[in-house]
Amino acid sequence: MTAQPTPVDPPQLHHNPAFAQGMIVPAGPTLYVGGQNGTDNTGALLDGLGAQTEQAMRNVLAVLAEAGTGPENVAKLTIYLATGVDPGAAYAATRSVWGDRRTAVTVLAVTPARPGALVEIEAVATLAGEELE
């Protein structure tokens, strides 16, 4: 069992280069990243879908880094978009920060509870290097 999450892609499912159908994470401590909006360090929302989405993803990465892990250890991202937002534009903005790593993803159109928020992103990650032996 390696310390890295492992993508799961059954041959009978359509293969998508951008995400994995499932991810296996090894036993060990787990980090839950609460829903991140596109807010700066004063708590203010940035303007527009692209800026909010990139910032929300940067906030997720900041929580990962603070916990001593990183995107390579993320088991799943859940990306909540405000209803009416262009999913393609939002997804492109996530990728500009997230990069090409494949992980399990759910993308939904809902209404983030915070007024004016166009996107909210949460994550689950394993903590590399802290696995039990």
Closest approach of a second copy to the CB of residue 49, in Å: 13
> Where in 49-78 is the site for a second copy (CB under 8 A)?
59, 62-67, 75-76, 78
Closest approach of a second copy to the CB of residue 93, in Å: 13
CA 69 to chain centroid, in Å, comes to: 13
Neighbours of 31 (CB within 10 A): 18
Residue identified by tokens 């920060």 is 97
When the beta carbons of 32 and 48 are compared against a second copy, the nearer one is 32
Instruction: Please tell me whether residue 38 binds a second copy under the rule CB under 8 A.
Output: no
Instruction: Decide: 123 and 25 in contact? Cβ < 8 Å.
Output: no
Instruction: Please tell me whether residue 21 binds a second copy under the rule CB under 8 A.
Output: yes
Q: What is the dihedral of CA 47, 50, 56, 60, to 10 degrees?
A: -160
Element holding 62 (H helix, E strand): helix 49-66
Report the residue from 47, 97, 101, 107 that binds a second copy according to the rule CB under 8 A: 107
Listed ranges 46-54, 92-100, 121-129: which one lies at the site for a second copy (CB under 8 A): 121-129
Alpha carbons within 13 A on the beta-carbon side of 48: 5
* Binding residues for a second copy (CB under 8 A): 1, 8-14, 16, 19-36, 39-43, 59, 62-67, 75-76, 78-81, 83, 87, 91, 103-114, 120, 122, 124, 127, 130-132
